[in-house]
A = this chain, B = another copy of it.
Amino acid sequence: MSILVVGSVAFDTVTTPFGEGREVIGGSATHFSMAASFWAPVRLVAVVGDDFTEEHRRPLAERGVDLGGLVTARGRTFRWVGAYDYDLNNPRTLDTQLNVFAAFKPEIPEAWRDTPLLFLANIDPDLQGEVLDQVKGARLIAADTMNYWIDSKPKALKALLRRVRLLLINDGEIRQLTGEPNLVRASALVRSWGPSTIVVKRGEHGVLVFDGAAAFALPAYPLEDVLDPTGAGDAFAGGFLGYLAARGLDSDLDVRRAAVVGSVMASYQVEAFSFDRVRRLTWPEIRDRYQKFIHLTHVEPLP
List chain B residues, Cβ under 8 A from A303.
257
Q: Are A217 and B208 in contact, with the CB atoms below 8 A?
A: no
Q: Are B205 and A222 in contact, with the CB atoms below 8 A?
A: no
Q: Is A88 positioned at the interface, with any CB of B under 8 Å from its CB?
A: yes
Which stretch from A148-156, A273-281, A293-301 is at the chain B interface?
A293-301
Shortest distance between the CB of A99 and any CB in chain B (Å): 34
Which stretch from A120-128, A158-166, A180-188 is at the chain B interface?
A180-188
List chain B residues, Cβ under 8 A from A223.
182, 184
Distance between Cα atoms of A51 and B78 in the complex (Å):
67
Identical copies in the complex: 2
In the complex, what residue of chain B is closest to A220 when comparing beta carbons? B217
Q: Are B297 and A301 in contact, with the CB atoms below 8 A?
A: no
Q: Is A87 positioned at the interface, with any CB of B under 8 Å from its CB?
A: yes
Q: A215-B222, A219-B219, A257-B300 are in contact. List 5 more A-B contacts (CB 8 A).
A: A184-B222, A184-B224, A208-B222, A256-B298, A287-B302
Which of B214, B225, B260, B299 meets A256, CB within 8 Å? B299
Q: Which residues of A are interface residues toward B (Cβ below 8 A)?
A: 17, 86-88, 181-185, 202, 205-206, 208, 214-220, 222-226, 256-257, 260-261, 287, 290-291, 293-303
List chain B residues, Cβ under 8 A from A205.
202, 205-206, 219
List chain B residues, Cβ under 8 A from A261.
302
Q: Are A222 and B217 in contact, with the CB atoms below 8 A?
A: yes
List chain B residues, Cβ under 8 A from A301.
290-291, 294
Distance between Cα atoms of A116 and B208 in the complex (Å):
39
Which of B226, B294, B299, B300 meets A182, CB within 8 Å? B226
Which 6 A/B pairs are nearest by Cβ-Cβ distance?
A: A217-B219, A205-B205, A86-B181, A184-B224, A297-B297, A184-B222
Q: Are A88 and B299 in contact, with the CB atoms below 8 A?
A: no
